[in-house]
Structure 1
Amino acid sequence: MPANDHSSSPQHLTDPSSIRALSHAVRLALIEVLGVHGALTATQAGELIGESATTCSFHLRQLAKYGFVEEAGKGPGRSRPWRVKQVGWIVEEIANDTEQNAAAKILGEIALERQLQRHQEFNHRKHEYPVEWRDAGDESHTVWWVTPSEMASLQQEINNLIYRFRERLENPELRPAGVLPVEVMVLTHLFTPPDIVAQSHEQDKD
């Protein structure tokens, strides 16, 4: 994405309507290609995601309505390129907000499904890539025994590593020769169900 004056921090989502507006496969696909390729017209985006220009134009306008994308000036002729306003998003958790939590859950599930599908597709077609790129996808798994404070510290270390090259995503001028976009996804979660964790927590206090 061309360098601009927009904030480089992820967009923080709290409004259920905005979260629901993003919870659509085509809209997520548009956000993804605009984030990776920079400003695109509806026609260009449609060619990348396999949708018609008319469909993309409609969904881009909806994304603009909720502040996810904006027009990126005028292109050649009557073309109308779009760009994302901020790269990435974070859904802010609001305690006891059932509507917001339900919307966030749906968005998270749709986004995760898309990410896992891309990982599986890479694995299935790994042999088609040049040799030097076949190790770009990897899978690791372990179980950590940690305290809540240790987990928070580890999560911060993971976040720092993931965002190491974030500036290259936002500014193509910073990308050295030979780079390609590599999606990095890290999943962390408690191994134990919440009721068992609650029981253990109560026992530790006794």
Structure 2
Amino acid sequence: MALEKTAVDPETKRLTDAQAMRALTHPVRIALLEVLAVHQSLTATQAGELIRETPTTCSFHFRQLAKYGFVEEATPGKGKGRQRPWKLVHMGFTIQGEDLDPEARIAADVLTQMFFRRALGRFERWQRIHGSYPGEWDRASTADQTGLFVTATELAEVNAKVREVLAAYRDRLVDPSLRPTDARLIEVLYLAYPMDLDSAVVAQNIDSEEK
């Protein structure tokens, strides 16, 4: 599949509007953003082949994503309908909790849950098939869980350092020419949050007793 290289704003889109978040909370729309991040530019027909949806469905969802500023025409005026190429406007998005009103906070929680359910589903698949990958990839991949005692300020510092490490490779998403020939697309899941261990233990005990 020959795809035209198009420029994408490497800055992330800041989401604060509940309506825009609800518009994004759809599995087809999330899938379209994911494949655009890899392939730079896709028509509805091309995207449909990748995510196993009809061109008509993809065309509709591309238009909805464009309405809220997530995608735009890659070559305005060229191509019509299902043959119109689309590209990302921004390479990802961020949601800042302190900027949200109560309605937007609820929409953000639903959207975040959907994204991580999809990602965790891919991780579960990796666990089933990792033995089929070359040994170096199996050894390089990881799944870690760590508990730490930190202040809120220290947690923010940890998060910033992790983002800095990942940002060093971000340009490779925007510009395929920067990708080493032996590079693969990987997914990094990073969660950091307060853990009330006593409540977790109580919840597990209650669940066990009910069974």
Equivalent of 2:147 in 143, 150, 160: 143
For residue 159 of structure 1, what is the aligned residue in structure 2? Answer: 163
- The aligned amino acid for 2:102 is T
Report how far residue 131 of structure 1 moved: 3.0
User: For the Cα contact (< 8 Å) 1:42–1:80, is it kept in 2?
Assistant: yes
1:120 to 1:83, Cα distance in 2 relative to 1, 3 A: same
- Seen in structure 2, the aligned counterparts of structure 1 residues 96 and 19 have a Cα distance that, compared at 3 Å, is closer
Q: 1:96 to 1:185 in 2, by over 3 A?
A: closer
Q: Is the CA contact 2:6–2:74 (under 8 Å) kept in the aligned structure 1? A: no
Percentage of pairs with the same residue: 42
Q: Hey, what does 1:179 align to over in structure 2?
A: 183
Amino acid at match of 1:183: E
Q: Which residue of 2 aligns with 1:169?
A: 173
Note the C-alpha offset of 1:129. 2.2
- Describe the superposition over 1:58-90 as per-residue Cα deviations: whole angstroms up to 9, x where unpaired: 1011001111001111369x8211111001101
Aligned pair partner of 2:20 in 18, 24, 46? 18
Distance, in Å, in 2 between the alignment partners of 1:30 and 1:136 is 28
* RMSD (Å) for aligned C-alpha atoms: 2.1
Q: Which residue of 1 aligns with 2:204?
A: none
Conserved in 1, the CA contact under 8 Å of 2:25 and 2:110?
yes
What are the equivalent positions in structure 2 for 1:113-152 lying under 5 Å apart? Answer: 113-152=117-156
Deviation for aligned residue 1:164: 1.8
Task: Give the 5 Å matches for 1:1-206.
Answer: 2=5, 4=7, 6-73=8-75, 74=78, 79-94=83-98, 97-192=101-196
CA distance in 1, matches of 2:29, 2:42: 14
TM-score by length of 1: 0.86
Q: Secondary structure at the match of 2:83?
A: coil
How far the C-alpha of 1:3 sits from its partner, in A, is 5.1
Runs (4+) of structure 1 exceeding 4 A deviation are: none
Structure 1 gap ranges (5+): 196-206
Deviation at 1:147, TM superposition (A): 1.5
Q: Separation in 1 of the partners of 2:99 and 2:170?
A: 30
Question: CA–CA distance in 2 between the matches of 1:119 and 1:113?
Answer: 10
**TM norm structure 2:** 0.84
Q: What residue ranges of structure 2 are gaps of 5+ in the alignment?
A: 200-211
Give, in whole Å, the separation in 1 of the partners of 2:64 and 2:9.
Answer: 21
Contact preservation (8 Å) 1:122, 1:137: no
Using the alignment, how far apart are the partners of 1:22 and 1:132 within structure 2?
Answer: 36
